[in-house]
A and B are shown apart, each in its own frame.
Chain A
């Protein structure tokens, strides 16, 4: 626990300052995020909870540089990345951010190793294959390197997806319902993997979820309701 205390004193790796996201859906203007202040430090595991339509996914998209905020600032490692061009955003995503999705989104025609390599495929990265194999071994799939996604179980697919998210050694890992398609036991093993990764790689993990189990593993849980962060933190839950 002392290690965790010490990491919390460092500068945040990603930060949202007064972020507003407004959608214009055919005449009707919807405020998905209504002024969010949020920061995550390296090695921190944050769970974001809240009902459907509360703006969780929008927040994750803004954090992941997939969507630009209407107002406010996004800071990545202290740098303002709010108004990057599409190409710069893409480059930054590749460099600093890993994604894990509820539906895994593996490419069915590629093997596990190739799926993990995938973010590096379009660049010159000679040792990517080696890193991919190491990562797959790390997540416990050393014997499934050449399997296609349809030959893997749900938990194994999510492990491949996690390995894929880690291939470029990102500082941040964003997870959208990472346990949503997994049974309790498998979900727990994925969350344990997350916990290990925050410790051994100092990666910040932000997971959007409905699953109360996730917040048990998280360092802290924030709750979004109607585009706003609730003041109270569910700190007590983690100690149960």
Chain B
């Protein structure tokens, strides 16, 4: 005996409900289809949102871990001193602190020339990696070029370029940086800070292990350096990532809202189906009541029919949505397994739950109407 038969024996209302639904299979099927679409829409749009967010976070790279400290220009501070850097290092312990000097420079190789950003960094290796050559722990001589500049001049490690009047041997070509960064090395040349005439730094880049650590470091730097007077402006990118996350949260809610509308429509179609089927079965329900079936049992039976429709639609919809999610993740972020994360499972459960609740709510009125009719009226010829 199948499980369903076994259950039917234990819950006769289930037997009646199942048989009733099988009576007009096309109609029941169409009602289920509505729920499938609704549940699929909610679950798949929810998962689509998760994928979008994951993709975007991927694109943004590690910027959430970066804090950039610049002089407080509005207060008349134009550069950061060695003392400031020391204070920052002390305040943001446990992070990598890279002071940066910056100006525009004319870069020449042979006949070709271009204007690029010139950074003075003692330890560019703390921030960047190289595709060609090796970024030295301490940059004393020579230059590190960004991928953009390298491509423009066709540079390799070992070539030489002229920056303003000075000629450098290239020690490393940097990997292309995909993420957004305030200190963008792609179109820049990095040399030792001692080659700059100015003593002060234009900014200090602080890199932490995590976004939270970066935020904590930013707070600490603000407290320490801006204690008496406004000395620095601290820009943390984690606030941007927070904003982006909030945006995707809203986007997700919007997508799920659209999905919910289709579920609402499905609910109306279940209402319609249940209403029609109870009207058709008017006499049968009258007989049920006449032979001693209580009102509440009739209500229970009809609600169970609606719930069965919702459950069937919900399960099929969820399975389809899961399939769509796997395909989407495989396609967009190249990682099908990313589908199986808690937030997506939550969307699936939520969607099936919504489908079930919508169906049962839609069954309420027909059930109440059918059970409320007096058997005498239902059986009148």
- Which A residues form the contact surface with B (CB < 8 A)? 61, 64, 66-67, 86-87, 90-91, 93-95, 97-99, 101-103, 105, 107-110, 114, 118-119, 121-122, 164-165, 168
Which residues of the partner chain B approach A64 to less than 8 Å between Cβ atoms? 290
Contact B287 A105 (CB under 8 A): yes
> Is the CB–CB distance between A93 and B290 below 8 Å?
yes
Q: Contact residues of B with A, CB < 8 Å? A: 12-13, 15-16, 19-20, 22-23, 283-284, 286-295, 297, 300-301, 374-376, 379, 381
**Bound form: Cα–Cα A157–B264 in Å:** 42
Most chain B Cβ neighbours within 10 Å, of A61, A64, A107: A107
Are B376 and A121 touching (Cβ within 8 A)? no
Looking at B283, B295, B376, the one whose CB has the most chain A CB atoms below 10 A away is B376
- For the residues of B in contact with A, the DSSP-based class is helix
Give the tally of cross-chain contacts (CB within 8 A): 74
CB pair A121–B23 under 8 Å, yes or no, is: no
Q: Are A121 and B294 in contact (CB under 8 A)?
A: no
A-B contact sample (8 more), CB < 8 A, given A99-B290, A122-B12: A66-B379, A90-B289, A94-B292, A102-B381, A105-B287, A109-B22, A121-B13, A122-B300
Structural contact, A168 and B294, CB atoms closer than 8 A: no
Given A66-B376, A67-B376, A164-B291, A108 and B23 contact (CB-CB distance below 8 Å): yes
Q: A105-B283, A122-B297 are in contact. Are A110 and B291 (CB under 8 A)?
A: no
Which residues of chain B come closer than 8 Å to A66, judged between CB atoms? 290, 374-376, 379
Q: With A66-B376, A121-B15, A122-B297 known to touch, is A93 a contact of B291 (CB < 8 Å)? A: yes
For the complex, give the distance between the alpha carbons of A107 and B281 in Å: 9
In angstroms, how far is the closest chain B Cβ from the Cβ of A147?
15
Contact B288 A87 (CB under 8 A): no
**CB-nearest residue of chain B to A168:** B292
Contacts A105-B283, A105-B287 hold; do A90 and B292 have CB atoms under 8 A apart? yes
Q: How far is the CA of A87 from the CA of B292 in the complex (A)?
A: 9
- Please give, as numbers and ranges, the residues of chain A lying within 8 Å of B22 by CB-CB distance: 109
Beta-carbon contact of B16 and A121 below 8 Å: yes
15 A-B pairs with CB atoms under 8 Å apart are A66-B374, A90-B292, A90-B295, A94-B291, A94-B293, A99-B291, A102-B381, A107-B19, A107-B287, A108-B23, A110-B19, A118-B291, A119-B291, A121-B12, A121-B293
